[in-house]
Amino acid sequence: MASLDTLTLPLDQTSSADLAAVGLEYRRIDADGEGFRPFQRAVARGFLGGESTDDEAAHARKTLRTRRLTGVFDAAGSEPEVPVGTIDSWASTLTTSPGRTADLWSISAVTVAPTHRRRGIARAMIGGELRTAADAGFALAGLTVTEATIYGRWGFSPAAWASDVVVDTRRARWTGPATPGRLDFVPRDAVVAHVRAIHERVRVSRPGAVPGWDGRWRAIAGAAPGDKEAEKVRAVVYRDVDGVERGILIYTLDENDDYSSHVLNVRSLFADGDDAYAALWRFAIEHDLVGTVKAWLQAPVPPVQWMVSDRRAVTATLTDHHWLRVLDVAGALSSRAYAAPLDAIVRVDDPLGFADGTWAVRIDEAREAVVSPADADAPVDVQLTVGALGSLLLGGVRASELAAAGLVRGDAGAIAAIDAAFAPAMTPLLDIWY
Ligand SMILES: CC(C)(COP(=O)(O)OP(=O)(O)OC[C@H]1O[C@@H](n2cnc3c(N)ncnc32)[C@H](O)[C@@H]1OP(=O)(O)O)[C@@H](O)C(=O)NCCC(=O)NCCS
């Protein structure tokens, strides 16, 4: 269903009516129409950015043409063509366990003009997206967030975490594995093609990952207009002994007062396999004239910590990154493979109604989930919020950990059984922003 054309889906009538009641208009925007530049201006202003150039707008249009753009308009304003609320969405694919995926209603560009904040505009826009996604049959919605305080009220909750990594290379002598392949620089004009191909292979095995898109790869590769660092971007690929490209490191170097202490900023490091990961991290850490390596969106507990002589030379700061919202319990739970069988009656509390109910969750001997509404008199084993269910889905947090926080309640044996069943084959990670 990720190929579903979300552009043809109707505008949510509840949000339309709610906004009309306060004198605002809820309207779709055509990326090829006159409304596009004002929409884009509003998004840039909402995220505290500057005005975009014609080149930047043309570049953004290529991505946004495939997305569902919706705005909220105030006809009484001094610039009525510029929306006071913006949101975009598209059908994507979430890796739920290695080789398994779920359709994901991805949301981005959520902004409300500072002149119109806290009047319920975001509430109308998010509600509209969730209802549209659920009506179209999506079991999950997802987003990445500027603030952790916003989306919990709509049932979103972190499901994959990421680390910002800083390595003091003076303390970090390489003790990791030697790798048999080779590293080569990639010509600048070829970086986009290489990163796209490698990420496509990486993301299908990593729970929490989603596909990137051309605009994302151009931005990372320094090939998007307006990138002040574009000239500094360099990339190396790792090829295995069979000549297959297994990983890519895209980076810039910043000079320091001390010329021997440059900072190597990792824009992306995508590795299809352990050898590629080790080879690319070794390249970064052993780079001459570099004192610090900084990398974002790395694994929550990055393996590079075990590949250097002094593990405290590597600091990893964990942050929530991929927020999911379960819209359909059966659809979400059946989208992944599990580690152990389970038979539990699970009560999900969802104030917005989408996932609310009591569910018989059975994970069979083949480690597949079968979920159906529970009988009315079935005793509940475990009760949890829809947010907690979203956080558990990929196995990035354990039910027993959420139980300690009071977000999951119930029988200790049933909670332990959920821990065992939901244990991930691989720690979830989302390695890009969207
Ligand atoms: C975040 C933002 C979209 C909220 O828009 P808004 O129209 O003011 O939000 P609403 O009026 O619909 O608020 C709905 C609820 O969310 C709460 N809320 C809104 N923004 C919040 C924030 N940043 N932190 C905590 N709570 C917030 C409101 O208090 C309200 O709470 P209630 O349910 O108790 O009444 C807006 O402040 C904004 O554009 N921020 C800058 C860009 C940004 O960070 N966007 C998010 C991208 S992921």
**Fold of the 328-422 domain:** Nonspecific Lipid-transfer Protein; Chain A (3.30.1050)
Q: How confident is the model at residue 28 (pLDDT cuts 50, 70, 90)?
A: very high
Instruction: Write the DSSP assignment of 191-235 as a string of letters.
Output: HHHHHHHHHHHHHTTSTT-----HHHHHHHHT-STT-TTGGG-EE
The superfamily in CATH containing domain 6-138 is: Gcn5-related N-acetyltransferase (GNAT) (3.40.630.30)
Q: Which of 183, 427, 162 is nearest to 295 (CA)?
A: 162
Q: Is the pLDDT of residue 280 over 70?
A: yes
**pLDDT at site 3:** 58
Stretch 357-386: mean pLDDT: 97
For domain 172-309, the CATH architecture is: 3-Layer(aba) Sandwich (3.40)
Rounded distance, CA 342 to CA 238, Å? 41
The rounded distance, in Å, linking the Cα atoms of 433 and 319 is 13
Q: Token digits for 432? A: 């890009």
Q: Each residue of 208-245: pLDDT tens digit? A: 999 999 999 999 999 999 999 999 999 999 999 999 99
Reported as a single tens digit per residue, the pLDDT across 92-136 is 999 999 999 999 999 999 999 999 999 999 999 999 999 999 999
pLDDT in tens, 156-183: 999 999 999 999 999 999 999 999 999 9
pTM of the model: 0.97
Tell me if 115 CB under 6 Å of ligand 1.
no
Residue 419 identity: D
Q: Is the CB of 150 under 6 A from ligand 1?
A: yes
Q: What's the rounded mean pLDDT across residues 373-392?
A: 97
Whether 1 has a pLDDT exceeding 70, the answer reads no
Distance between CA 9 and CA 390 in Å, rounded?
Answer: 25
Count H helices, E strands: the chain? 11, 17
- DSSP collapsed to 3 states, 175-188: CCCCCCCEEEECCH
What's the pLDDT score for residue 2?
Answer: 55
Which of 45, 115, 118 for a ligand 1 pocket mutation test, highest count of atoms within 8 Å of Cβ?
118
Tell me whether residue 317 is exposed, middle or buried, using C-beta atoms within 10 angstroms of its C-beta: 0 to 12, 13 to 18, 19 or more.
Answer: exposed
Ligand 1 centre distance from Cα of residue 118 (Å): 6
Q: Where in the chain is the domain with CATH 3.40.630.30?
A: 6-138, 172-309
Mean residue pLDDT of the chain comes to 97
* Cα 174 to averaged position of ligand 1 atoms, centre (Å): 45
Residue 269, pLDDT score: 98
pLDDT band per the 50, 70, 90 thresholds, residue 5: confident
The residue whose C-alpha atom lies closest to atom 43 belonging to ligand 1 is 111
At 4 the pLDDT is 73
CB atoms within 10 A of CB 314: 24
Q: Evaluate the CA torsion angle 222, 225, 229, 230 in order and state its sign.
A: positive
Cβ of 146 below 6 Å from ligand 1:
yes
Tokens of 179: 């790798």
Share of the chain above pLDDT 70, in %: 99
Give the nearest ligand 1 atom to 112 CA. 39
Burial status of residue 430 (CB atoms within 10 A of its CB: 0-12, 13-18, 19 or more):
buried
CB 434 within 8 A of CB 208: no
Helix (H) or strand (E) holding 87: strand 85-97
147 lines ligand 1 (CB under 6 A): yes
111 CA: nearest ligand 1 atom: 39
Q: What is the pLDDT of residues 54-91, one digit of tens each?
A: 999 999 999 999 999 999 999 999 999 999 999 999 99
Task: Please indicate whether residue 83, judged by its CB atom, sits closer than 6 Å to ligand 1.
Answer: no
